[in-house]
Structure 1
């Protein structure tokens, strides 16, 4: 973390090489969120590029009241929302699974083990379910279960209280379970367990 603060301080002074280090640290997590939100690797790559471009242009105004990652994910989520409104796109066409996103290339045309897992029935069912929940629920699941942000970080990104984060996440997981049940999917039981057990920070 101290190393990141040093890199961040250099980037705030306008050092492009330092900012490129920040890009390398966060681009895959940002891409994962963008991909789950817009469903297209090409569009996700565009969102990632725009997110970092906006961050770079605003580096001198970044006060550090929140962490860099929090600030960056806020920019990314706003871009994802803008994209969905502009394109009227289905926000979730890629499966939501618990793979390690750090192994994903941006973009990577060759299928990885994680991508093969995404093509499983479980991945398809979760993708379809997530596509049917509200934008608020989708956002919070993306930030928590895809990007792995803490409750505190999510609260800062969405500018809501930690209590609201926890209750909204619980409702989001229940909504996913309801969708799975309505689809006659036996995986809903697992989703129910996750909604109860996932409240530990």
Structure 2
């Protein structure tokens, strides 16, 4: 058995260093985030993510006065990710709004029947359909979440979709031969 390698930074020293960095820079990094976000909650999230990165990469944080500059760089990248996420959410909301406005004019499907039909499904079927439609997961990701094989996911999803189609037909929601909205399709062109 090889000899144990001593940690060059014992846990107490590590925590103390992080706390010093946090206390010395928290106000400036929060101000930086507040000036670049829409609300205080977003700024607090940016601050938390910045210092989480600092904790994880504490050995990379410069030991001199450059720590603040390093933190600004991290906060800048966190903000870039935050803004990309906001743009994606805005685009999705606009797309959904458009779909709802244009879809409401289509008499083929009564949207009021979709909710009851969906709720009539088993919990397992609802979970599968929401993991695909709302969470946007592919078969492999769903298999990881559910702890089963990709093939089992494929089969279960095919059956869940069939049961949902039948529930919609029973609810007099109109023909279900139309394709599902893009968000409800399986990503990457996979088929059940």
What is the TM-score normalised by the length of structure 2? Answer: 0.43
Q: Which has the larger radius of gyration?
A: 2
What is the TM-score normalised by the length of structure 1? Answer: 0.41
